[in-house]
């Protein structure tokens, strides 16, 4: 019931706001007519005084009185909508009366039609029977709503800011929804209260990387190095440290670091496609470690290796070293074209798009690289974590990111 009372009050308020210009215009027109009529009455009284004083002849006085009377009648005709003698009114009088009719119809529309249209629309697309859902009740039972879950934890941390577990839970959620500033603060609070561990240090480092558009800064490197001290066999930290070498132009060291990751990782590890991609970039050739999907049970390989389409076979890798530069380039172009075709059939492959964009860029085909980036962003939009990674990589490759992402 309270909802309908508030709706009615809001409807009245909106109607008053919409009617006020029309009412002001009507009032101005009425005041103008009254003032004009008063002037003509004064002229009639002045005319009688001039006639009595002999300043004007009776004939001229009659003519002047007739003209003033005609003007008074015209004003009276404007004040009467639809009065007699409409055809004899001046054009401006008819125009003013037409304007008043428009005001009247506008007022009727605002007062009657707009509320009816609004009510009908609400009954059609709204939910008048839905019970109230106060924020307090929704936060108490957030269900699967991520925003409410975050709000619930935030409210808890506002009263107990030294709850390290709360910050530890909230930090990766902030990261997943793209709130990188908040994620960094949450990771730092969790590390300060609970102490560092490999997962928290990796999370902090990756957040700093995302905040800096994919660049592994000194702060991020310190976090990954700390993670490695806590957990030496840590491919996530190894990857970002190798990426830092690549970004700084130390390609030979980066190649060695990525190859070490590949040697220490299971062939079907989900990060292997990305590692192989960087191996290919830094060696200016094909990936040095094969993705042997055939060694995994059917179906498992696809789940663990989403970037498998277009990977070279063992024979390709073995023959690549014996090929001439031209033949090797032709083989790489064929592999890239094969990956491009597979991604068009199944675009839901983030690692595949990363690899395709970088491959075209390394082949000096900037136009195809930007086209692949544009297609990849259709499946992984720029406002998501994957889209941000695509854009960060494109900036590294000196592609026209702004034009493509619009």
pLDDT score of 110: 64
C-alpha to C-alpha distance for 314 and 304, rounded to whole angstroms: 19
pLDDT number for residue 184: 93
Our CA angle for 371, 373, 379, nearest 5°, is 110
**Residue 355: CA count within 13 A, CB half-sphere:** 34
- Bigger pLDDT: 341 or 26? 341
pLDDT at 226 (0 to 100): 95
What is the rounded distance in angstroms from the CA atom of residue 162 to the CA atom of residue 152?
16
d(CA 396, CA 221): 18
Residue 362 backbone dihedrals phi, psi, to 5 degrees: -70, -25
pLDDT confidence of 205, banded at 50, 70, 90? very high
Confidence (pLDDT) at 353: 86
Taking the domains of the chain in order of start, what are their residue ranges? 2-125, 265-406
- Taking alpha carbons only, the member of 218, 162, 157, 159 closest to residue 182 is 157
> What's the pLDDT band for 253 if we cut at 50, 70, 90?
very high
Task: Determine the distance from the C-alpha atom of residue 67 to the mean position of all C-alpha atoms in its chain, rounded to a whole number.
Answer: 69
Q: What is the dihedral of CA 24, 27, 29, 31, to 10 degrees?
A: -140
Mean of the pLDDT values across residues 218-225?
94
pLDDT tens profile 308-351: 334 444 444 444 444 455 655 666 677 788 888 888 888 888 87
398 phi and psi angles, rounded to 5 deg: 65, 40
Average pLDDT score over the chain: 74
pLDDT at site 102: 62
Q: Cα–Cα–Cα angle for 334, 243, 221, nearest 5°?
A: 170
> Virtual CA dihedral for 79, 85, 88, 94, nearest 10 degrees?
40
The residue among 93 and 176 whose pLDDT is bigger is 176
Q: Are 175 and 203 in contact (CB under 8 A)?
A: yes
State how far the alpha carbon of 110 is from the alpha carbons of 21, 101, 167, in Å: 12, 14, 53
> Can you tell me which residue has the tokens 């702060």?
219
Gap between the terminal Cα atoms of the chain = 47
- Cβ(78)–Cβ(96) below 8 Å: yes
DSSP string for 98-167: HHHHHHHHHHHIIIIIHHHHHHHHHHHHS-TTPPP--HHHHHHS-TT-HHHHHHHHHHHHHH-TT-HHHH
Q: What is the pLDDT of residues 34-85, one digit of tens each?
A: 667 777 777 778 878 877 877 778 777 777 778 877 777 776 666 554 444 4
So what's the architecture of 265-406 in CATH? Alpha Horseshoe (1.25)
What distance in Å separates the CA atoms of residue 288 and residue 255, rounded to the nearest whole number?
Answer: 10
Amino acid 248: pLDDT: 84
The whole-number pLDDT of residue 128 equals 62
Confidence of residue 219 (pLDDT cuts 50, 70, 90): very high
pLDDT of residue 64: 77
Tokens of 7: 């709706």
């Amino acid at each position: 019931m309270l909802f309908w009372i508030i709706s009615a009050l809001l409807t009245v308020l909106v109607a008053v706001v919409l009617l006020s210009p029309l009412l002001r215009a009507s009032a101005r027109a009425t005041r103008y007519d009254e003032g004009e009529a008063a002037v003509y009455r004064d002229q009639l009284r002045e005319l009688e005084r001039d006639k009595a004083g002999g300043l004007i002849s009776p004939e001229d006085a009659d003519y002047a009185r007739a003209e003033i009377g005609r003007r008074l009648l015209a004003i009276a005709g404007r004040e009467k909508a639809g009065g007699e003698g409409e055809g004899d009114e001046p054009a401006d009088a008819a125009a003013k009366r037409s304007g008043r009719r428009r005001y009247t119809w506008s007022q009727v529309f605002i007062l009657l039609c707009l509320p009816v249209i609004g009510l009908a629309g609400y009954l059609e697309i709204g939910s008048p029977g839905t019970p109230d859902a106060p924020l307090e009740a929704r936060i108490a039972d957030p269900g699967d709503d991520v925003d409410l879950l975050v709000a619930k934890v935030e409210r808890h941390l506002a009263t107990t800011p030294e709850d390290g577990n709360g910050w530890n839970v909230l930090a990766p959620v902030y990261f997943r929804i793209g709130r990188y500033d908040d994620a960094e603060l949450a990771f730092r609070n969790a590390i300060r209260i609970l102490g560092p561990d490999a997962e928290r240090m990796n999370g902090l480092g990756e957040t700093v990387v995302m905040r800096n558009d994919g660049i592994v800064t000194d702060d991020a490197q310190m976090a990954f190095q700390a993670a490695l001290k806590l957990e030496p066999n840590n491919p996530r930290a190894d990857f970002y440290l190798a990426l830092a070498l690549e970004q700084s132009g130390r390609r030979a060291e980066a190649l060695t670091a990525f190859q070490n990751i590949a040697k220490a990782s299971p062939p079907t590890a989900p990060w292997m496609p990305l590692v192989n991609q960087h191996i290919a970039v830094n060696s200016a050739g094909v990936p040095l470690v094969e993705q042997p999907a055939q060694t995994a049970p059917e179906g498992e390989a696809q789940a663990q290796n989403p970037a498998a389409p277009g990977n070279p076979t063992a024979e390709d890798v073995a023959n690549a070293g014996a090929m001439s530069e031209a033949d090797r380039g032709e083989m790489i172009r064929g592999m890239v074209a094969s990956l491009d075709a597979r991604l068009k059939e199944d675009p839901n492959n983030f690692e595949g798009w990363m690899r395709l964009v970088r491959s075209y860029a390394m082949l000096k085909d900037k136009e195809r690289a930007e086209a692949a980036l544009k297609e990849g962003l259709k499946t992984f939009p720029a406002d998501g974590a994957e889209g941000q990674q695509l854009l960060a990589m494109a900036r590294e490759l000196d592609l026209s990111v702004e034009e493509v992402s619009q």
